[in-house]
Copies of this chain bind each other. A is one copy, B any other.
Amino acid sequence: MTVMQTTPADTARTAPADICSAPPRRHPRADGQDSYTISEVVAFTGLTAHTLRWYERIGLMPHVDRSHTGQRRYSNRDLDWLDFVTKLRLTGMPVADMVRYAELVREGESTYGERRELLESTRRDVLNRIAELRDTLAVLDRKISFYAMEGTTR
């Protein structure tokens, strides 16, 4: 790893972010060869380059490193983080809250408790959303079956 010459300390500082979200995802390239351009990340994540740069500006990314010419080079860890962030996004969590979580990650292990609380409250939100959606589903099904009945002739 030419670009990836991080010291153990470095790794320890940035690692806790995704320690437990890896299992169900395969990276495009193995650790050690993981150095993706912004457009590769666009292809993998579905986010736009604009959004990726914007995420970085607002402090939602854990410091993406750069090529010798100053271009962004994303790692597997960054991909995992983006994956997680994307999941949080679609729970409806506001970006500001995700930035808060990113800050906690940067602050290190001492924030485990607060992070857990944040995730648990998010978890509750998700369960509520699911319940609401089920409810809506029931309403939709009732209406659909009405239209299916009345609309067979047309």
Residues of A within 8 A of B (CB): 19-21, 23, 84, 87-88, 90-91, 109-110, 112-113, 115-116, 119-120, 122-123, 126-127, 129-130, 132-137, 139-148, 150-151, 154
Contacts and interface: CB of A to CB of B under 8 A. Distances in A.
Given A23-B142, A116-B151, A154-B112, A129 B123 contact: no
Contacts of A136: 87-88, 90-91, 126
A146 B90 contact: no
Contact of A21 (B84, B133, B139): B139
Contacts of A20: 142-143, 145-146
Contacts of A135: 87
16 contacts: A20-B145, A21-B139, A21-B142, A90-B133, A91-B136, A112-B147, A112-B150, A112-B151, A119-B144, A122-B140, A126-B136, A126-B140, A130-B130, A130-B133, A130-B137, A133-B133
B139 A84 contact: yes
A54 to B, nearest CB: 22
